[in-house]
Amino acid sequence: MKKILFAASECVPFIKTGGLADVAGSLPKCFDKEYFDVRVILPKYSCMKDEFKDKLVYNNHFYMDLAGKSLYVGILEMEYDGITFYFIDNEYYFTGEKPYGDILWDIEKYIYFSKALLSALPVIDFRPDVIHCHDWQTGLVPVYLKDSFQQNQFYWGIKSVMTIHNLKFQGTWDIKTIQAMSGLPDYYFVPDKLEFNKDANLLKGGLVYADAITTVSNTYAEEIKTPFYGENLDGLMRARQNSLRGIVNGIDYTDYNPETDKLITKNFNAKNFRKEKIKNKTALQKELGLEQNPKTMMIGIVSRLTDQKGFDLIAYVMDELCQDGIQLVVLGTGDEKYENMFRHYDWKYNDKVSANIYYSEPMSHKIYAACDAFLMPSLFEPCGLSQLMSLRYGTVPIVRETGGLKDTVEPYNEYEGTGTGFSFTNYNAQEMLKTVRYAEQVYYDKKREWNKIVDRAMAKDFSWSSSAAQYQELYDWLA
Ligand code: ADP
Ligand code: GLC
């Protein structure tokens, strides 16, 4: 039996800001339980829902030395859906309304988390064969593991995997501060280790010291070796290309199932969507105060409102788009400029645009179920889960061909009768508009063709099964 520990800063159902939480919460369930004992460790945030906080069970506590200070490390645990989750408890670090905020404070928090989770292993008596780290917040785990922890035999031979969910976020600050916070010796703060343009970079530490690196799609694995997508780490990505591979994300096919989803108005499946899916649209039109017309093409967006997601393209052609016979439903929070942009168009085209500037799991499901199409014109997209959720609910994705979007959405080909969505190549607003209008044309003028696209979209399998098998292979190869 191989033991695997997932270390992550967010994880469904406990705490979520984006797709990382979906992956950390849904992937561990999908491994072969006969051969793999997979557990998850994350911080115990005070902003977690009470329904979960109340169920955490005290496991242990101890004091850990970090950069000359002695710090409390509490360990709580909970079993959920057959998986053991451990929570690192320290109220000094993990209070606040959201998991992330000020970057310097976040850096300090996750340095503590990285060392604390390693220190906790003998205490909980779990010696993983592989620690699977996710994103910059756990970047120091492979570094600490190869450093002072080697003085203790318990840690000998533990392997680490670093998965890049988003290369843009790296946890970078000046060397002096990070050295003082982490207690790591000078040895690490040089250009072939943690140093990065004269600063220190936590993710880079993980990428240098992990035994294997993965990212969440094949295309992104290639893209990050180039300067445009490489976020100044493309050189390192090229240097480590033999240890780097792409494994595309899946989604939880139980939570995201139009046939059983309790959060949507009317359940439907691949056979009856022609009659039933539309009831979700009319219900949502009513709920959001849009013109109530089952025939109108409804386009959805569920997203963090950041540059990454291509909102500059949308902003650029929003007036033109709103001249068309469509409705646009947006759910998201993030940069104020995009929040206000959507609020403005909601006001200007009140019966056509609905801007929902908040975070809501139930509303996201309603949108995936109700819309005809889903717009995701990302500037870059390591994988993207929203388009997978859309495919599952027969909502046709319109995407830019980048990262995981390129790997998971097959463009409609009217001559061959293939494809599950619509896509365009260049980061160009007119190109996007043209593609949306092509989709409109198929939707309105060739309904049977449109429904066949939906058929093919719903027939795709983006559950975790094949990707979980690839992670298993990787673990087997490592340890
Ligand atoms: P990213 O991780 O870059 O944000 P993904 O597409 O991988 O993008 O994952 C986003 C996840 O967050 C999806 O599960 C999506 O439904 C969810 N999500 C994003 N914004 C919201 C919101 N405002 N309310 C509810 N869910 C949201
Ligand atoms: C990141 C990426 C997104 C990916 C998610 C889960 O947040 O932006 O593309 O799907 O992580 O891997």
Q: Which ligand is nearest the CA of 223, by number?
A: 2
The 10s digit of each residue's pLDDT in 295-305 is: 999 999 999 99
- Distance between CA 344 and CA 361 in Å, rounded? 24
pLDDT at residue number 315: 98
Q: Which atom from ligand 1 is nearest to the alpha carbon of 386?
A: 6
Residue 220 sits at φ, ψ, to 5 deg, of -65, -35
The amino acid that residue 239 corresponds to is: A
Among 417, 373, 379, which residue's Cα sits nearest to residue 397? 373
pLDDT at 244: 98
Which pLDDT score, from 0 to 100, does residue 75 have? 98
Beta partners for residue 327, in sequence order: 298
pLDDT tens per residue across span 443-473? 999 999 999 999 999 999 999 999 999 999 9
**180 with 170: CB under 8 angstroms?**
no
> 72 forms bridges with which residues in the sheet?
63
Distance 215 CA to ligand 2 centre (A): 9
Q: How far is the CA of 243 from the centre of ligand 1 (A)?
A: 29
pLDDT tens by residue, 56-106: 999 999 999 999 999 999 999 999 999 999 999 999 999 999 999 999 999
| Whether 30 contacts 250, CB under 8 Å | yes
For residue 22, report the distance from its CA to the centre of ligand 1, in Å.
Answer: 9
Would the CB of 390 count as within 6 Å of ligand 1?
A: no
d(CA 13, ligand 2 centre) in Å: 17
Structure token pair of residue 476: 């087997």
Exposed e or buried b per residue across 363-391, where buried means at least 16 C-beta atoms within 10 angstroms of its C-beta: bbbbbbbbbbbbbbbbbbbbbbbbbbbbb
DSSP 8-class letter at 412: P
Q: For the segment 175-231, what is each residue's pLDDT rounded down to a tens digit?
A: 999 999 999 999 999 999 999 999 999 999 999 999 999 999 999 999 999 999 999
Ligand at shortest distance from the CA of 166: 2
Ligand 1 mutation target, pool 386, 399, 405, most atoms within 8 A of CB:
386
Q: Residue 397 — very low, low, confident or very high, per pLDDT cuts 50/70/90? A: very high
| Per-residue pLDDT, 254 | 97
In order, the DSSP letters of 174-188 are: EHHHHHHHH---GGG
Confidence tier at 150 by pLDDT (50, 70, 90): very high
Residue 207 token pair: 């990428």
For residue 132, the model assigns a pLDDT of 99
Q: Whose CA is nearest to atom 3 of ligand 2?
A: 384
Residue 135 CA: which ligand is closest? 2
Which amino acid does the sequence have at 305?
L
> What percent of the chain clears pLDDT 70, i.e. is strictly above it?
100
Each residue's pLDDT tens digit, 337-357: 999 999 999 999 999 999 999
Residue 408 sits at φ, ψ, to 5 deg, of -115, -15
What confidence score (pLDDT) does residue 239 get?
A: 98
- Which ligand is nearest to the Cα of residue 389, counting in written order? 1
Ligand 2 atom closest to Cα of residue 22: 6
Reported as type and span, the H/E element at residue 387 is: helix 386-392
pTM of the predicted protein model: 0.98
75 lines ligand 1 (CB under 6 A): no
Listed residue (106, 183, 166) closest to 137, CA to CA = 106
Q: If you measure from the C-alpha of residue 302 to the centroid of ligand 2, how many angstroms do you get, rounded to a whole number?
A: 13
Cβ(402) to ligand 1 under 6 A? no
Kindly report the number of other CB atoms within 10 A of residue 69's CB atom: 10
Domains of the chain and any CATH numbers: 2-250+464-478 (3.40.50.2000), 273-459 (3.40.50.2000)
Q: Where are the alpha helices (DSSP H) in 200-335?
A: 202-209, 218-223, 234-239, 273-288, 311-321
pLDDT averaged over every residue in the chain: 98
Distance, CA of 126 to CA of 276 (rounded, Å): 48
In the chain, what is the greatest distance between 2 CA atoms, to the nearest angstrom?
70
